[in-house]
Amino acid sequence: MSLLKQRIHPSAIIEAGAELDSSVEVGAYSVIGPHVRIGAGTKVGPHVVIEGHTTIGQDNQIFQFGSLGAAPQDKKYAGEPTRLEIGDRNTIREFVTFNLGTTQDAHVTRIGSDNWIMAYVHIAHDCQLGNNIILANNATLAGHVHLDDWVFLGGFTSVHQFCRIGAHAMTAFTAAVSQDVPPFVTAAGNRAVPAGINSEGLKRRGFTPEQIAAIKRAYKAIYRAGLPLEQAMLELQQQEQKSPEAAEHIQTMRDFIAASARGIIR
Report, as residue numbers or ranges, the catalytic residues.
125-126, 143
Distance CA 216, CA 236 (A): 11
Which runs of consecutive H residues, i.e. helices, occur in 1-110? 3-7
Distance CA 220, CA 227 (A): 10
Which runs of consecutive H residues, i.e. helices, occur in the chain? 3-7, 199-204, 209-223, 229-242, 247-259
What backbone torsions phi and psi does residue 236 show, to the nearest 5 degrees?
-60, -40
C-alpha neighbours within 13 Å on the C-beta side of residue 68: 32
Max Cα-Cα span within the chain: 71
Distance CA 262, CA 179 (A): 6
Question: What is the side-by-side strand order in the sheet with 116-117?
Answer: 25-26, 43-44, 61-62, 91-92, 116-117, 134-135, 152-153, 170-171, 185-188, 193-197
